[in-house]
Amino acid sequence: MRRFVACCALSLAALSAGAQEHHHGAGASAPAATPPVFVASTAKPFGALMDDAMAVMDAGMRQAPMNGVSEHDFITMMMPHHQGAVDMAKAVLLYTQDPEIRNLALGIIAEQQNEIKVMQAWLQRHNKDTIK
């Protein structure tokens, strides 16, 4: 649980630092040819899965298409952030039998996936309005 909380705290710190470090899409390095993909599997130890989830989330946030419109940029950054939470929750489900943690992880998966759909719908509705 401590590692899960620590990873969540680190992801928030990375979001804050990354947002202050540079403006995505303006001077950022070119996106990787193949974006990293998270695979939840017991072939790796839990810690490695959490590292993978963080790396995929970080790459997604760094490659988020920013355009300077705060609402748009918030949404494009939050989608990979939420997916990172889903990936971490899937990882913990592979390694815990604790019913409280399993319930928490299942709730995170359901809620974050729903919020990703809401954000995708917002982008579809507002995409033409947020192009500068």
pLDDT tens-digit profile of 38-94? 999 999 999 999 999 999 999 999 999 999 999 999 999 999 999 999 999 999 999
Note if the pTM is more than 0.85.
no
Kindly state whether residue 35 falls inside one of the protein's structural domains.
no
| Domain range for 122 | 2-8+44-129
Q: What is the DSSP letter of 29?
A: P
Q: Is residue 66 part of a domain?
A: yes
Kindly state whether residue 15 falls inside one of the protein's structural domains: no
Using the structure block, give the residue that is written with the tokens 């970080």.
Answer: 58
The DSSP letter of residue 75 is H
Pull the structure tokens for residue 52. 């993978």
Q: How many independent structural domains does the chain possess?
A: 1
Choice between 2 and 100, residue whose per-residue pLDDT is larger: 100
In a domain, 106, yes or no: yes
Report yes or no on 124 lying in a domain.
Answer: yes
| Rounded Cα–Cα distance for residues 9 and 28 (Å) | 24
For residue 106, the surrounding DSSP H or E stretch is helix 99-126
Q: Which of 80, 83, 78 is nearest to 59 (CA)?
A: 80
